[in-house]
């Protein structure tokens, strides 16, 4: 049995914070620049692979990586057989229901039929179900703020960290549908067959994030606006 640990890291908004956290926790000394020409980098017993965030749960569930760092928002949409071990606190953002300024919805009146545009259909469905609302969901892959402006949908369910993008598109927040931040996830077999290494990783990351004050959602910076 190898003692090495294979770690999946999400490219994009969470990547640099993930690398910094691994360094601060003493897990692996890794410079984000090292991934410019290569997709996987080894530091001591740890091998790190950089990938699209939605691929992180796939690599971890299938056991190609023992553990991974990924936003909770990705896990909402892809419920998989992985363990979610630690809330890493960075990359904080919220899933909100937002509607155009001046619309009936913005005034708190839910019309009989509602169309919502979202990149998060699973989380949005769960949110509307919890309110007992039958809403037609339109799944989009790009900027959902566009949908109400062009008459495609009455409202959006989207991620926001600072609220700036919503304001810029004349959307107002109506309700919070969820809170996300980066999470440490682990493969179910790795937690058993490499339990010492995985548990040490979880403990080191947990110590580091609980020692530092939790960053406010607004401080996430390059996260979603």
CA dist., res. 88 & res. 104, Å (int): 38
State the maximum Cα–Cα separation within the chain, in Å, rounded to a whole number: 62
Question: For residues 44 and 63, which CB has a smaller minimum distance to other proteins in the complex?
Answer: 63
Q: What residues pair up with 86 in beta bridges, in sequence order? A: 184
Helices marked H in 32-163 — which ranges?
56-61, 72-77, 121-131, 146-149
- What spatial distance separates the first Cα and last Cα of the chain, rounded to whole Å? 44
Select from 75, 63, 83, 70 the least CA-distant residue to 15. 70
Residue 204 Cβ vs other proteins, minimum distance, rounded to whole Å: 14
Residue 193 Cβ vs other proteins, minimum distance, rounded to whole Å: 5
Question: For residues 7 and 98, which CB has a smaller minimum distance to other proteins in the complex?
Answer: 7
Residue 151 Cβ vs other proteins, minimum distance, rounded to whole Å: 32
Q: Is 214 in the site for other proteins (CB under 8 A)?
A: no
Question: For residues 3 and 150, which CB has a smaller minimum distance to other proteins in the complex?
Answer: 3
Q: For residue 175, which phi and psi values (nearest 5 degrees)?
A: -155, 155
Binding to other proteins in span 33-72, by CB under 8 A = 58, 61-64, 72
Q: Which of residues 199, 214, 218, 222 is near other proteins by CB under 8 A? A: 199
CA dist., res. 188 & res. 72, Å (int): 18
Site track 85-124 with other proteins (rule: CB under 8 A), x = hit: xxx-------------------------------------
Residue 2 Cβ vs other proteins, minimum distance, rounded to whole Å: 8
Q: Which stretch binds other proteins (CB under 8 A): 78-86, 114-122, 127-135, 156-164?
A: 78-86
Q: How many CA atoms lie within 13 A of 41 on its CB side?
A: 16
Pairing of strands 82-87, 67-71: unpaired
Binding to other proteins in span 169-198, by CB under 8 A = 183, 187-195
Residue 222 Cβ vs other proteins, minimum distance, rounded to whole Å: 23
Select from 62, 50, 60, 57 the least CA-distant residue to 72. 57
Residues near other proteins (CB under 8 A) are: 1-2, 58, 61-64, 72, 79-87, 183, 187-195, 199, 202
């Amino acid at each position: 049995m190898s003692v090495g640990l294979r770690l999946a890291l999400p490219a994009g908004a969470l990547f640099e914070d993930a690398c910094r956290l691994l360094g601060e926790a003493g897990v692996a000394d890794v410079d984000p620049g090292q991934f410019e020409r290569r997709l996987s980098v080894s530091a001591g017993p740890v091998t790190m692979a950089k990938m699209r965030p939605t691929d992180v749960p796939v690599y971890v569930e299938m056991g190609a990586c023992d553990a991974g760092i990924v936003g909770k928002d990705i896990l909402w949409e892809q419920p998989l057989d992985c363990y979610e071990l630690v809330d890493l606190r960075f990359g904080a953002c919220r899933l909100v229901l937002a509607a155009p300024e001046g619309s009936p919805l913005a005034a708190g009146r839910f019309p009989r039929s509602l169309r919502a545009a979202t990149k998060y259909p699973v989380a949005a469905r769960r949110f509307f179900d919890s309110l007992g609302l039958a809403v037609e969901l339109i799944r989009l892959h790009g900027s959902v703020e566009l949908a109400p402006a062009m008459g495609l949908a009455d409202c959006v369910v989207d991620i926001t960290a600072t609220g700036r993008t919503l304001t810029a598109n004349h959307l107002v927040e109506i309700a919070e549908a969820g809170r996300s931040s980066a999470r440490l996830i682990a493969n179910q077999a790795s937690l058993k067959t490499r339990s010492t290494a995985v548990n040490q990783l979880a403990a080191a990351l947990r110590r580091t994030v609980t020692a530092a004050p939790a960053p406010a959602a607004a401080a996430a910076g390059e996260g979603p606006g």
